[in-house]
Structure 1
Amino acid sequence: MSTYAVIIERAEDGGFGAWSPDLPGVVALADTEDAVLDEMRAAVEFHLDGLREDGLPVPHPSTVAATVITPAA
Structure 2
Amino acid sequence: MANADKLLERMRANPRDRRIEDVAALCDGFGIACTPPRKGSHYKVKHVERPEILTIPADQADLHSGIGAVHRRSAGITEMNPFDYEVDILPLSAADGGGYTAVAPELPGCRSDGETPQEALDNIYDAIGCWIEAAREMGRPVPQPRRAAA
- TM bin, normalised by shorter chain, reads 0.7 to 0.9
Letter paired with 1:23 = L
* Alignment gaps of 5+ in structure 1: 66-73
SS in 1 for 2:89: strand
| Deviation of 1:7 (Å) | 0.2
SS in 1 for 2:107: coil
| Deviation of 1:61 (Å) | 2.2
Distance 1:25 1:54 in 2: 15
Give the 5 Å matches for 1:17-36: 17-36=101-120
Letter paired with 2:105 = P
Letter paired with 2:116 = T
Determine the structure 1 residue equivalent to 2:143: 59
Percent same amino acid at aligned positions? 36
Determine the structure 1 residue equivalent to 2:75: none
**TM-score if structure 1 supplies the norm length?**
0.74
SS in 1 for 2:133: helix
**Divergent runs of 4+, >3 A:** none
Confirm whether residue 50 of structure 1 aligns to residue 134 of structure 2.
yes
User: CA deviation digits over 1:8-63, x for unaligned, max 9?
Assistant: 0012234101101201211111111111111101111001011112221101223x
**TM-score if structure 2 supplies the norm length?**
0.39
Of 52-61 and 36-45, the range deviating more from structure 2: 52-61
Which has the greater radius of gyration? 2
SS in 2 for 1:37: helix
Letter paired with 2:99 = G
* Alignment gaps of 5+ in structure 2: 1-79
Confirm whether residue 7 of structure 1 aligns to residue 91 of structure 2.
no
Q: What is the number of equivalent residue pairs in this alignment?
A: 64
Q: CA RMSD in A?
A: 1.7
SS in 2 for 1:29: strand
